[in-house]
Amino acid sequence: GENVEQHPSTLSVQEGDSAVIKCTYSDSASNYFPWYKQELGKRPQLIIDIRSNVGEKKDQRIAVTLNKTAKHFSLHITETQPEDSAVYFCAASNYAGNMLTFGGGTRLMVKP
Amino acid sequence: SAVISQKPSRDICQRGTSLTIQCQVDSQVTMMFWYRQQPGQSLTLIATANQGSEATYESGFVIDKFPISRPNLTFSTLTVSNMSPEDSSIYLCSVGGGGYGYTFGSGTRLTVV
C-alpha cells in the first residue's frame, strides 16, 4: 500500500518568513495530493490540493509543488502569520474514491 | 463539497463498554471512511464503508472491535467495542474522491477511563 513520509515534524518560523513542508510517497499510482490544516481541537481542513497532471498550484500565500518522477510534493507558505500556526498534514490518494494515506504531520509555529 | 454531521462530539466511557459514532452526509456518497487520530498523531484509516457490502478493514483493525454499518448512501456508524484506555482517540468519518476533495466530520473525542 501507499506510504507517505512528511518532514519536518516541527517547524518554527518568524512571522513574515516562509515555511516549507515536504512529503514523499511510495505508490506511483497515486495521483491526488491534498494538504490539510488542523487547528487544536478541530477537524482537518483542506487548504490546497494538486493532481498529478499539474506541477504547481498556487492560492494566495500557499503553493504546492509536485515532482512525480521523484515522488515528492511540497507545501510552501509565504509571508507567514501567527494564524498559520497549526498542524499540517500531507496526504496521497489515487483519487478514484480510494482512501487518503496521511503523512505524519508538521507542527508549524509562527512567532510574532 | 459534502457536509458531514458527526455525533457525539465527545464522550467519556467506562472500560469494557461500547460507543457508537454516527455520521450523516448531506448528499449521497459511495464510500465513507473512518479514521482514528491518537493524541498528537496523524490520521490512520480504520476501514472503508460501502453501502450494501461489508466494510473493508485496514491492517490492525478488526470487525469485532470496530463494527461498521452503512445502511444507505448518506449514513454510517462506527462502534468501538469493549473499550480500553488505549482506544482513547479522536475518531473521524470522511467522504470524498471521485472528482472532489475529501471532507471530514467534526470528530468524536473519546476518553476511556
Please write the tens of the pLDDT for every residue from A68-91: 999 999 999 999 999 999 999 999
Residues of A whose CB is below 8 A from B42: 89, 102-105
The mean predicted confidence, pLDDT, of chain A is: 94
Q: Which amino acid is at B44?
A: T
Give the list of residues 6+ apart from residue B69 with CB closer than 8 angstroms, or none: B49, B76, B77
Nearest to B43 among A42, A46, A102 (CB): A102
Nearest of A45, A98, A101 to residue A73 by alpha carbon = A101
Among residues 13-72 of chain B, which lie with CB inside 8 Å of chain A? 30-31, 33, 41-45, 48
* Residue bearing cell 473493508: B56
According to the model, what pLDDT value does residue A106 have? 98
Q: Which amino acid is at B2?
A: A
* B88 pLDDT above the threshold of 70: yes
| C-alpha span between B19 and A10 (Å, rounded) | 34
According to the model, what pLDDT value does residue B98 have? 58
Q: How confident is the model at residue B99 (pLDDT cuts 50, 70, 90)?
A: low
The mean predicted confidence, pLDDT, of chain B is: 93
* B17 pLDDT above the threshold of 70: yes
What end-to-end distance do the CA atoms of chain B give, in Å?
37
Containing B17, the helix (H) or strand (E) segment is none
DSSP character string of B44-99: EEEEEEETTSPPEEPTT--TTTS-EEEEETTEEEEEE-S--GGG-EEEEEEEEETT
% pLDDT > 90, chain A: 84
Helices (H), A1-112: none
Strand partners, B56: B48
| C-alpha span between A26 and A45 (Å, rounded) | 24
According to the model, what pLDDT value does residue A95 have? 61
Q: What count of other Cβ atoms lies within 10 Å of the Cβ of residue A86?
A: 21
Q: Touching check for B10 and chain A: CB below 8 Å?
A: no
According to the model, what pLDDT value does residue B59 have? 94
**How close A69 comes to chain B (CA, Å)?**
23
Nearest of A99, A100, A45 to residue B49 by alpha carbon = A99
Containing B105, the helix (H) or strand (E) segment is none
According to the model, what pLDDT value does residue A40 have? 92
Q: How confident is the model at residue B96 (pLDDT cuts 50, 70, 90)?
A: confident
Q: What is the average pLDDT across B17-26?
A: 97
| C-alpha span between B19 and B35 (Å, rounded) | 15
| C-alpha span between B84 and A37 (Å, rounded) | 29
According to the model, what pLDDT value does residue B34 have? 97
* B30 pLDDT above the threshold of 90: no
Q: Is the dihedral of CA A83, A89, A92, A95 positive or negative?
A: negative
* A98 pLDDT above the threshold of 90: no
Tell which of B23, B102, B109 to mutate to test the A interface (max A CBs under 10 Å): B102
